[in-house]
């Protein structure tokens, strides 16, 4: 070194010991130079080794780390090894068809990954703007209300926003069913802070549909430490980036639930003693969301398409976490508790739901015009609901009564039985092409269905099915009258 002193040996730099344990928070005294922020350290806890991640420098020889595994039984003075790297996640063909935890260890009782399995750091920068390519190819889902009002982009980001129990997970599972069957690419599912039961159901769903061999499931469930739940999306993103960048394959990235990622970050922030920000969230909220969301991008000929479920706490769409996520997505699908209460499923709000792709240059003039008219008619109906509740629909003028009837028929036409819910509803699922959806909505707007029963349009596929249902109902009514 310049002052003539010897540089400490590598072994001395790479060791330390635990000096304090407060739940998942570990204070570690290190020998030699301080490790980098986000560097992984290995704590020897006797029979097990606990992986932790450095989060703060407290002094010249002291760092604070968050454990990514339970710390029961850990003692002060436990030896620590500094790895010099972030957490390294397994990637490549060997992880396909597997369920892994946040550290990349198998969680499906399968064979562990060998040393030949490539590994990549879970922390890496987003691709530069110069490398990214724009996303304009439409991802057809077969779900009428989404394809009509919030078309998804291949290589884009779509988020399903909704409170508790309005159907986010069912909608995401239906999108998986719709896309995976006709999707030529890799699927990566990140289960962030979700229930163990949902992970089991997802694994069985993938097995039964025969797509597990092209899917990677990464889970950090709600019974795991906050540091684990906080880093699950990064592990899933690392797997997706490997296939995008090194194999040039399209990737479908599914996350349920991104709010739990923010919630885990808030827990970690509180454990580290940081001053809370607005509504009690962590002061680093926007940075953490941006670090994750900006990595979801198309590069060259390969894309990462993200579909994310987002829990809305107390149905408050002004919540800072919801706003932070919404600012990064291309398509916003908003689920409404009121529509769910009325039996409109999927309970997607046609007014609040939107997409940057809802543009005539992308989807065509006819589609854009019909979508605009659908919104206009349903919005007008909402304005009249208070009048109808007070005075009844009979007090409206003929033109307004006609508009109300069409709005109600549109709402029912945009309902749809789901494949993944067939076991509960008893109705087989339906997938409808964009052309059939647009044609059906246009026919209702033009008055072709004004004399139909509203029930004929409820929970069906295309308009032809509704027509058959209406004819059957009329025939039955005619026989009853005779």
Q: Which residues are known catalytic residues?
A: 168, 194-195
Nearest-CA neighbor of 168 among 343, 334, 355, 413?
A: 334
Check the CA dihedral 342-348-353-358 and report its sign. negative
Tell me if 168 sits within 8 A of 257, measured CB to CB: yes
CA–CA distance, 197 with 229 (Å, rounded to integer)? 16
Tell me if 26 sits within 8 A of 231, measured CB to CB: no
Q: What is the 3-state secondary structure (H, E, C) of the chain?
A: CCCCCCCCCHHHHCEEEEEEEECCEEEEEECCCCCCCCCEEEEEECCEEEEEEEEEECCCCEEEEEECCCCCCCCCCCEEEECCCCCEEECCHHHCCCEEECCCCECCCCCCCCCCCCEEECCCCCCCCCCECCCCCEECCCCHHHHHHCCEECCCEEEEEECCCCCHHHHHHHHHHHHHCCCCCEEEEEEECCCHHHHHHHHHHHHHHCCHHHEEEEEECCCCCHHHHHHHHHHHHHHHHHHHHCCCCCEEEEEECHHHHHHHHHHHHHHCCCCCCHHHCCCCHHHHHHHHHCCCCCECCECEEEEEEEECHHHCCCCHHHHHHHCCCCEEEEECHHHHHCCCCCCECCCCCEECCCCHHHHCHHHHHHHHHHHHHHHHHHHHHHHHHHHCHHHCCHHHHHHHHHHHHHHHHCCCCCCCCHHHHCCCCCCCCHHHHHHHHHHHHCCCCCCCCHHHHCCCCCHHHHHHHHHHHHHHHHHHHC
């Amino acid at each position: 070194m310049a002052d003539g002193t010897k540089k400490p040996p590598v072994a001395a730099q790479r060791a330390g010991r635990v000096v304090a344990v407060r739940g998942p928070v570990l204070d570690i005294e290190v020998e030699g130079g301080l490790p980098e922020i986000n560097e992984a350290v290995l704590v020897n806890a006797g029979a097990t080794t606990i992986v932790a991640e450095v989060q703060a420098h407290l002094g010249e020889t002291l760092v604070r780390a968050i454990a990514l595994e339970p710390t029961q039984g850990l003692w002060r003075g436990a030896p620590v090894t500094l790895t010099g790297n972030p957490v390294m996640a397994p990637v490549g063909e060997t992880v396909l068809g597997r369920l892994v935890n946040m550290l990349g260890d198998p969680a499906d009782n399968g064979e562990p990954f060998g040393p030949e399995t490539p590994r990549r750091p879970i922390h890496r920068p987003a691709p530069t703007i110069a490398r990214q390519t724009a996303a304009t190819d439409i991802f057809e889902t077969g779900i009428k209300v989404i394809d009509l009002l919030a078309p998804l982009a291949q290589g884009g980001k779509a988020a399903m926003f909704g409170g508790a129990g309005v159907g986010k997970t069912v909608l995401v599972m239906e999108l998986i069913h719709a896309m995976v069957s006709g999707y030529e690419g890799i699927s990566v599912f990140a289960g962030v802070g979700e229930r163990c039961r949902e992970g089991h159901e997802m694994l069985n769903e993938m097995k039964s549909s025969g797509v597990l061999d092209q899917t990677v499931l990464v889970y950090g469930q709600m019974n795991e430490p906050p540091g684990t739940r906080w880093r699950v999306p990064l592990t899933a993103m690392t797997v997706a980036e490997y296939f995008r960048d090194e194999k040039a394959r399209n990737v479908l990235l599914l996350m349920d639930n991104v709010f739990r990622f923010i919630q885990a970050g808030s827990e970690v922030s509180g454990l580290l003693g940081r001053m809370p920000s607005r509504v009690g969230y962590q002061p680093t909220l926007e940075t953490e969301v941006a670090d994750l969301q900006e990595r979801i991008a198309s590069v060259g000929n390969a894309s990462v398409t993200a579909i994310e479920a987002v829990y809305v706490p107390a149905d408050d769409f002004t919540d800072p976490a919801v706003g932070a996520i919404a600012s990064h997505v291309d398509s916003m699908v908003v689920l409404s508790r009121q529509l769910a209460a009325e039996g409109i499923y999927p309970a997607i709000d046609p007014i609040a739901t939107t997409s940057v792709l809802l543009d005539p240059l992308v989807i065509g003039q006819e589609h854009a015009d019909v979508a605009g008219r659908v919104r206009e008619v349903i919005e007008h109906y909402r304005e009249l609901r208070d009048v109808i509740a007070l005075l009844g629909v009979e007090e409206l003028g003929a033109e307004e009564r006609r508009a109300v009837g069409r709005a109600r028929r549109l709402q029912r036409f945009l309902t749809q039985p789901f494949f993944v819910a067939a076991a509960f509803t008893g109705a087989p699922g339906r997938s409808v092409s964009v052309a059939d959806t647009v044609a059906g909505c246009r026919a209702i707007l033009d008055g072709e269905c004004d004399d139909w029963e509203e029930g004929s349009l409820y929970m069906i596929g295309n308009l032809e099915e509704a027509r058959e249902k209406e004819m059957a109902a009329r025939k039955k009514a005619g026989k009853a009258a005779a």
